[in-house]
Structure 1
Amino acid sequence: MNFIVDETKPSDSNEKKTGNNIGKTTVLRLINFCLGGSEKSIYQSKEFKNNVNESVKSFLTEQKVKVTLKLQEDLENPLSRQLTICRNFLSGSKKILEIDAKPVLAKNFDMELKKSIFGFEEAKPTFKQLKAKNIRDEAERLENTVRVLGNFGKLEEYEALYLFWLGVDYPDAEKKRLLLEERGLEEKLYNRLFNENSESKLKQFLKIIEHDIDVLESKKNSFNINEEYESDLDSLNKVRANLNSFYSKQSQLDLRRELIEESYSELKKSLVDSQAGLLAELYAQANVFLPNLQKTYDETVAFHNQMVHEKMHFIADELPTIDAQLIKLNSEIQNSLTEEKRLVAQLQKSDTVDELQEVIAQLNGKYEQKGRFEEKLEQLLASKDTLTNIDSQLASIDKSIYELDELIQDRVSTFNMFFSEISNNLYGEKFAMSATFEQKKNTEQHFYKLYIDSLDGQTGTGKKKGEIAAFDIAYVKFAEQLGIKCLHFILHDQMEVVDDNQIEGLVREVVSANCQFVVPILRDKLPASIDKPEYQVLSLSQESKLFMI
């Protein structure tokens, strides 16, 4: 048990003396920083992005502060495997970002930590998502037991995370995520095509055009023309047919490109500017009405923008291929136009009647119109087939996941043995977790969700934090029993709202578990029975703050 406390005593004569704002919570943020968290959380206000502690920021950069985090598999065995992570607050060539003294690129840091700690190399869940349960210093993790990714977390990301927690192998997590991304773009294309012309409407238009073509072909064939003219006319029709096909393909590619650019632009607009003062003021106003709100503005912005950038990269990936196809098509169109001009000039030298030229012009127009409608119908049907194919793949993946339901429920039952026992020890009430495979509204997709329930219904703030702590300790015991790799340290903020009896109970549970529980807490909120040196890892004061400034 590692309490981070202040040295303020209840008997201090100075009534203004306080144990707040001395760096207790900053310790948690420094640990999170070494594990890939944002440096801004160290010196910037959660609520007001413009409220920067310049003295702390300057200290960290000017003094070239380096933070080193050492992880060890067994703290009681000095020979057990260790991992050392170093970071500083500088940039460019002076930036330090190392794992076991080896420099790591920022873009690879999350994956390298995941491989080093969990031995896991799949794209999802990310290391940031995996550590979220263990570092509870932000609102979404302080208030939610299992929804540790907040409202920005997608259903497929939560599903991958939950199954990882349960030690259930889920190799199709990334494939499912990519299919859902692809489906979103394809559905947008299909809806746009369908809104312009339905499948039935296009087929009816084609029937009318084909009838008009039959009539004009019959009329054209009634003319008595020489073989040379007929041959040139056939060549011209083939060239124009090719042109129609090229124009249709060009139209299709232009439409596809336009849709991608629109989606890209919409996503770009959804990026949140960290300088958006109005939004920060909105967070401030929310804090007035909800005093307990622990909103982390910069972390929320960074998380949101990271997801948007990933989507932008995904949808723009097709643009180079489309541009190459358009260049090739333009070349083919120019060549065909040149040939068309030559054939028209040659035909105009022949003895023809105006009526025949008019019929041919009408016929060519009809063929061009037919080509456009056929291309639109082909696009619509192709998009429909793509959606059907994606849905089929998603259904297959969902089926393979649901086939693991017996294993999943068995793992949940094993977890609940620890969870219900710890919660019962703390509150005389047994909490339980359940896993359900639910269908997403208005779709055919299914996702696993986890729920926490109590026989007595909703819990208050203090009891909720006790529930979260019980969950985290129970998970360490569960993971150990099943051999699931996990972090054996738990960081919790704002434990002052928990009753003394439950804080004492948590200490007993931590001592009996193979985990390290780090908690910043005001000394006057610490029960006397556990206000002991062996439980206190760090003591700070107004005269001796964390950074000594």
Structure 2
Amino acid sequence: MQLISLIVVKSTTNEIIRKIKFNEKGLSLIVDETNKITSGSNIGKTTAVKIIDLCLGANSPSSLYKEKDTGENIIVGEFLEKNKVYAELTCKINDELYTFKRSLYKNGKNEINGEITNNIAEYRNKLNNIIFNNSNNKPTLRQLITKFIRLENSNESSLLKYLGTYTKNYEYQAIYEYLFGIDTSKSENVNILSINEGIEKDIEAIYRKNGVSSLKEFETKINLMKEEVDKFKKSYSEITVINGYNDKFNDMQELLSDIHKLEANYSKCKLKIELMKEKIKKEEDKIFNVDTKILKKLYDETKLSLDSQLRDFEDLEKFHNGMVNKRITMLKEAMNELQVELNSTNLELKKLQKDYENNFVSFNIELKDKFEEKYGEYSKNKIKLENFENDYNYVVEKQKEKDNNLSKKITQNNNGNKKQEIEEKFNIYFKELTKNIIGETFAIVINEDDEEFPVKIIGMNGKPGTGIKKAMITCFDLAHVKLIIKEGYHMPVFVIHDKLENIDLKELRGIIAESRIFEGQYIFPILNDRIDMLGIKEEEVVLRLSAGDKFFHIK
């Protein structure tokens, strides 16, 4: 795939804002004509390459006017929206021309060769098929094309980890094997590995939550928890929740028995007193009380002389009443003794009843509290056990799901020989480029271990230092395009780099020299004050920008 041209147009008026024709091979430079006094930022150098990236499926046109560091450029955003600006990138793939049209405003349509796509996902899938001959979208377009268009500030890790450090090694394995033309089968398994990685994270989170590190530990912990729950359950069912429960219960029963005895004695005494009262009343009814004067008057009227008889009768009466009163006195004395006993029994009974009431309430409160405490512990541990078992069952199911996913993996090609072959071919170009540009020879190593990052760069003095990282990125990417051209891979043969303005002048001279004999296309911005130093030819410049002539011509 070769870049032919880029045009940016106001669709409201069909006015062309920019038209860039790229050189067929070698250098296509974007020159920043601002001087040292005038700042060259925000003139549109990065905008130009961002638009190419958007035409090749980058996320959102908002990247043209929104920056993490500087915020939103409202003027540019409104300009794009008001004029309904679009960009059209023309490319050549196997001698056939393609146009990729991307709207640079919100909710705009995207087209491929004049055919509108429904959404960005469809647009990318079609591009992946056209550019990389990758119909199954594994790896994705953006995972592949980002290797050819580097827009972010380069750092040490982005030399090889160009998608960032969050992309996993197994993903990079599949991507690099695809880019190097080694194997495509590994990319078929990336989704499975990614899904299983998510499952592993879920399982690890469950393990951490429950303080275990394996299913075996999980089982042991569950068994311990079951024993604890059974112990609480047994304690609850056997009412052994109160220490000395049986002794306390027996004391309560003895106290209750004493109360019943006293209640019986109290009732007996009370009954005796009632009987005594009835006897006294009967005795009182026996007292003979006759008025002798009335009796004498009666006898006088009947002419009877009864002096001696009346006296005897009176004596008899006194004797009789005396005996009755004596029995009454004895009964009252006995009744008083019973009353004393009754009062004493009543006092003792009330005391015992009070003691029983207090002990009963205390006992039941303690029993209730202990029951609640034990039941609370039992319930808490039962719920905890249920949660343990649920988590355990979840892990078991996830392990089955993971194993099932692994069973769906396709058999990957045994590509050890292919890797060695590609490594040797790549290093022919890479060694030459690093020697000519950096002044030191480096080589790549393609790792056999799938767990490791797929590519390493090694020099005679070890890994490359941070001071040469930008030049190293150029060497690596140009060597890759040389490999693509040599092997005839269905891939881009261009490299677009941003942020190379401050690269060391010596290294930059080497880059310019190598780019002039480069069969692919190398596009990057350069500062105007370096043009003369590097002997840049006019035909190598495809776009000039300045403070007075920014990309969108916005003042």
TM range, smaller chain: 0.5 to 0.7
Q: State the 1:512 CA deviation.
A: 2.6
2:426 is matched with: 415
2:29 is matched with: 3
Tell me the secondary structure at the aligned position of residue 42 of structure 2: coil
Q: State the 1:187 CA deviation.
A: 4.0
- Contact map agreement 1:493 1:520 (CA 8 A) in 2: yes
Q: State the 1:371 CA deviation.
A: 13
Q: State the 1:2 CA deviation.
A: 0.6
Distance 1:142 1:488, change over 3 A: farther
Distance 1:203 1:469, change over 3 A: same
> Under a length normalisation based on structure 1, what TM-score does the superposition of the two structures give?
0.60
Find the partner of 2:52 among 31, 51, 56: 31
- Contact map agreement 1:436 1:450 (CA 8 A) in 2: yes
| 1:178 paired to 2:195 | yes
Distance 1:16 1:430, change over 3 A: closer
- Contact map agreement 2:81 2:106 (CA 8 A) in 1: no
2:93 is matched with: 73
| 1:165 paired to 2:179 | yes
Q: Could you tell me which amino acid in structure 1 is paired with residue 44 of structure 2?
A: G
Q: 2: CA distance between counterparts of 1:519 and 1:505?
A: 15
- Contact map agreement 1:4 1:538 (CA 8 A) in 2: yes
Q: State the 1:389 CA deviation.
A: 6.9
1:426 is matched with: 437
| 1:131 paired to 2:145 | yes
Matches within 5 A, 1:206-221: none
Q: State the 1:53 CA deviation.
A: 1.8
| 1:453 paired to 2:474 | no
Q: Could you tell me which amino acid in structure 1 is paired with residue 189 of structure 2?
A: D
User: Aligned residues, how many?
Assistant: 375
1:52 is matched with: 72
Q: Could you tell me which amino acid in structure 2 is paired with residue 488 of structure 1?
A: V
Tell me the secondary structure at the aligned position of residue 445 of structure 2: strand
Q: 1: CA distance between counterparts of 2:480 and 2:145?
A: 13
Q: 1: CA distance between counterparts of 2:453 and 2:163?
A: 15
Tell me the secondary structure at the aligned position of residue 72 of structure 2: coil
Distance 1:205 1:20, change over 3 A: closer
Find the partner of 1:103 among 116, 122, 127: 116
| 1:83 paired to 2:103 | no
Q: State the 1:138 CA deviation.
A: 0.4
Return 5+ residue gaps in structure 1 as ranges.
10-14, 75-79, 214-365, 440-445
Q: 2: CA distance between counterparts of 1:29 and 1:452?
A: 29
Q: State the 1:30 CA deviation.
A: 1.1
Q: Deviations over 1:371-424 (max 9, x none)?
A: 9979965973673474377369659969x5594334323322221121111111
Q: Deviations over 1:271-314 (max 9, x none)?
A: xxxxxxxxxxxxxxxxxxxxxxxxxxxxxxxxxxxxxxxxxxxx
Find the partner of 1:149 among 137, 158, 163: 163
1:254 is matched with: none
Distance 1:472 1:205, change over 3 A: closer
1:188 is matched with: 205
Tell me the secondary structure at the aligned position of residue 446 of structure 2: strand
Q: Could you tell me which amino acid in structure 2 is paired with residue 112 of structure 1?
A: K
Tell me the secondary structure at the aligned position of residue 525 of structure 1: helix
Q: 1: CA distance between counterparts of 2:210 and 2:453?
A: 33
Q: 1: CA distance between counterparts of 2:519 and 2:223?
A: 69
Matches within 5 A, 1:190-269: 192=209, 198-203=218-223
Q: State the 1:158 CA deviation.
A: 1.9
Distance 1:465 1:143, change over 3 A: farther
Q: Deviations over 1:310-369 (max 9, x none)?
A: xxxxxxxxxxxxxxxxxxxxxxxxxxxxxxxxxxxxxxxxxxxxxxxxxxxxxxxx9xx9
Q: 2: CA distance between counterparts of 1:20 and 1:375?
A: 58
Q: 1: CA distance between counterparts of 2:161 and 2:40?
A: 31
2:399 is matched with: 387
Distance 1:374 1:142, change over 3 A: closer
Q: 2: CA distance between counterparts of 1:29 and 1:99?
A: 18
- Contact map agreement 1:141 1:149 (CA 8 A) in 2: no
1:503 is matched with: 508
Q: Could you tell me which amino acid in structure 1 is paired with residue 514 of structure 2?
A: E
Q: State the 1:533 CA deviation.
A: 1.0
Distance 1:23 1:202, change over 3 A: closer
Return 5+ residue gaps in structure 2 as ranges.
1-26, 234-377
Q: 2: CA distance between counterparts of 1:143 and 1:178?
A: 26
Matches within 5 A, 1:353-364: none
Q: 1: CA distance between counterparts of 2:422 and 2:170?
A: 20
The CA RMSD measured in Å over matched residues stands at 3.8
Q: Could you tell me which amino acid in structure 1 is paired with residue 202 of structure 2?
A: L
Find the partner of 1:21 among 15, 20, 42: 42
- Contact map agreement 2:173 2:453 (CA 8 A) in 1: yes
Q: 1: CA distance between counterparts of 2:210 and 2:383?
A: 16
Distance 1:58 1:210, change over 3 A: closer
- Contact map agreement 1:137 1:492 (CA 8 A) in 2: yes
Q: Could you tell me which amino acid in structure 1 is paired with residue 139 of structure 2?
A: P
Distance 1:460 1:176, change over 3 A: closer
Q: 1: CA distance between counterparts of 2:509 and 2:154?
A: 25
Q: State the 1:506 CA deviation.
A: 2.0
| 1:536 paired to 2:541 | yes
Find the partner of 2:81 among 53, 61, 65: 61
Q: State the 1:478 CA deviation.
A: 1.1
- Contact map agreement 1:67 1:88 (CA 8 A) in 2: yes
Q: 2: CA distance between counterparts of 1:123 and 1:434?
A: 27
- Larger radius of gyration, structure 1 or 2? 2
Q: State the 1:123 CA deviation.
A: 4.6
Tell me the secondary structure at the aligned position of residue 553 of structure 2: coil
Q: State the 1:545 CA deviation.
A: 1.9
Q: 2: CA distance between counterparts of 1:402 and 1:448?
A: 18
Q: 2: CA distance between counterparts of 1:438 and 1:415?
A: 19
Instruction: Report the more deviating stretch, 189-198 or 117-126.
Output: 189-198
Q: State the 1:69 CA deviation.
A: 1.0
> Under a length normalisation based on structure 2, what TM-score does the superposition of the two structures give?
0.59
